[in-house]
Amino acid sequence: MIEALNGVDLVVHAAGPFQREDKCAVMQAAISTKTGYADVCDGMDYSWRAKSLHEEAKAAGVPALITAGISPGVSNVMAAELVRAAKSENCGEPERLRFFYYIAGTGGAGPTALGTSFLLLGEDVIAYHKGREIKLKPYSGARNIDFGEGIGKKDVYLLNLPEVKSTHKFLGVPTVSARFGSDPFIWNWGMETFANFLPADILRDKNIVLKLTECVDPFIRVIDGIVGECVSMRIDLENSNGHNTMGLFTHNSLSVGLCSSCICSSNSRRQH
């Protein structure tokens, strides 16, 4: 890895799934070679492991931007802007932040997205309630959320996503959670079934999960071709004086939106 990065200006790590990885090998190689680094990590443990390398990257003079995709990434920026606007407009203190995500099929990501989803079913959901960290069952707590024109109302379910912890810690919002849903609806039923009946040890075994996703990949790609790869994110903020605000982002192509997000984040980081 170090040899591959010698003489490179920037490496973008998009080779998920990031769940169940015990090392940040690409980021560590980037620091060693003084290569700018960005990733689209969506794993809670991985993201905080990467954050622990902050001082090392700083000492090496290496710009490193993690979780710089759409969700987390753009979603975090949306949440930060909602909080900033609420405080500047004297709307009271932010009390509750909720992330809602919808993706048609796998968003065109195929087995990578499916593997990530399965691995997340093996993790307790970390959420925050009035400042207290709580653990919830994955793919539970269903809500029917309106994603606006072109998407409509979709069912979404609790998942363990890193933006929950980061926005709680850095934006100071005491109650935070994240939910995700997909189409066709049978995917949601399947995810609920796996979460409720498959042993957690199987869902936490990355080798088993990746082999499973390889087996169903042809079927997944057929479904993706039918439902498309639209993505939508809705972030709701509730404030202490009763003033509530919402941010909504929708793109008809997850892959295009993800690449654009990462490029913009990397350019912004390099300019600063």
**The two three-digit tokens of residue 258, written as one number:** 């993800």
> Residue 104 has what pLDDT?
85
pLDDT-derived band at 266, boundaries 50, 70, 90: very low
| Residue 195, helix vs strand vs coil | helix
Q: What mean pLDDT do residues 209-219 have? A: 84
- The tens digit of pLDDT for each residue in 101-138 reads 998 866 666 677 778 888 999 999 999 999 999 999 99
In angstroms, rounded to a whole number, what is the distance separating the alpha carbons of residues 79 and 96? 11
Q: What mean pLDDT do residues 43-59 have? A: 94
Asked whether the predicted pLDDT for residue 100 surpasses 90, the reply is: yes
Q: Which residue has the higher pLDDT, 237 or 221?
A: 237
Average pLDDT value over all residues in the chain: 88
> Residue 21 has what pLDDT?
87
Domain boundaries, the chain: 2-68+260-271, 74-254
The structure's pTM equals: 0.88
> Residue 257 has what pLDDT?
59
- The tens digit of pLDDT for each residue in 166-183 reads 999 999 999 999 999 998
Residues 101, 106, 110: CA angle, nearest 5 degrees: 150
**Which CATH number describes the domain made up of 74-254?**
3.30.360.10
**The two three-digit tokens of residue 225, written as one number:** 């071709």
CA distances from 129 to 168, 176, 177 (A): 10, 7, 9
State what percent of residues in the chain have pLDDT above 70: 90
Instruction: Measure CA 168 to chain center.
Output: 15
Name the DSSP class of 67: S
Asked whether the predicted pLDDT for residue 271 surpasses 80, the reply is: no
In angstroms, rounded to a whole number, what is the distance separating the alpha carbons of residues 59 and 56? 5
Q: Which residue has the higher pLDDT, 264 or 99?
A: 99
